[in-house]
Structure 1
């Protein structure tokens, strides 16, 4: 079994410009994802993030609550407006000291389909993680990205003015 890469795709009931604003603006992203960032998403930025419960799903917010306040590093790698944005982070860091570990790469890629938008989320680089953390980080994020696909759908439905 290959546990280096996770890929999730979801067809969102929104045009590309709305989806782009949901994934490329730190405040919007944080609202559905469940995070607060200390600055905007700008290519090359190294941001401090803090886990906060999502604003769009009470059940997932309850699941995130035990992690509320937990800090994490978030590096914005590349932004190609209306097309893709990529980040690096330490997956499933928890309370572990992971600052010396490699970061995985997360990419959000948008594509049009009949006035709707395909969003593909890919996280890669798990094979670089220490063996003691690799499988747990992969399993946690595999399920996490499935949940995030639902959260962005709900966010877009709740924010038609976006």
Structure 2
């Protein structure tokens, strides 16, 4: 099994617009479908309730790692942590990186999630499968959001 997910999309929007969609917590929440209560800050925990139908019971949380304006936004989280009866805190989180690159027609957005080899073996395959499909859907969400 692969230890990383890599996705990319060319967006017909300037880097500044895509950057705002990624790093403004309200805009991120709109396309990512999570209700967040505070701005993103490196080293801080971002937390909110998922708004995607069927997952409203899930609390989304991620530790913001890097905010390098108009270039890199990253966080760590516990992938596919949707079972409220499980304590995921003992697990090593995966790293999600959003990288932006200007193109002649807009912005190339690359999303990479690494560290699946550290996810407990009993849930690794499902977490990878769900996030693989989840990132494909999120690329479409952000595409519509910045259009």
TM, length-normalised to structure 1: 0.86
Give how far 1:74 is off: 1.1
Distance in 2 of aligned mates of 1:69 and 1:40: 22
Residues paired across the two proteins, number: 145
Identify the residue that residue 7 of structure 1 maps to in structure 2: 6
Give RMSD over aligned pairs: 1.0
Aligned to 1:23: 22
3-state secondary structure, aligned to 2:62: strand
- Runs of 4+ in structure 1 over 2 Å off: none
Are 1:82 and 2:70 matched, yes or no?
Answer: yes
Unpaired stretches in structure 1, ≥5 consecutive residues: 54-64, 158-162
Match of 1:94 among 72, 78, 82: 82
What SS is found at the alignment partner of 1:99? helix
TM-score, normalising length from structure 2?
0.95
CA distance in 2, matches of 1:125, 1:76: 16
- 1:69-117 CA distance string (max 9 Å, x none): 4113211001100101001111111113211111110000000111410
Match of residue 141 from structure 1:
131
Instruction: Show the 5 A alignment for 1:1-162.
Output: 1-2=1-2, 4-53=3-52, 65-95=53-83, 96-157=86-147
The offset of 1:12, in angstroms, is 0.1
Distance 1:12 1:47 in 2: 26
Contact 1:49 1:72 in 2 (8 A): yes
In 1: Cα distance, 2:23 partner to 2:57 partner: 22
Whole-angstrom distance in 1 between the partners of 2:145 and 2:101 = 19
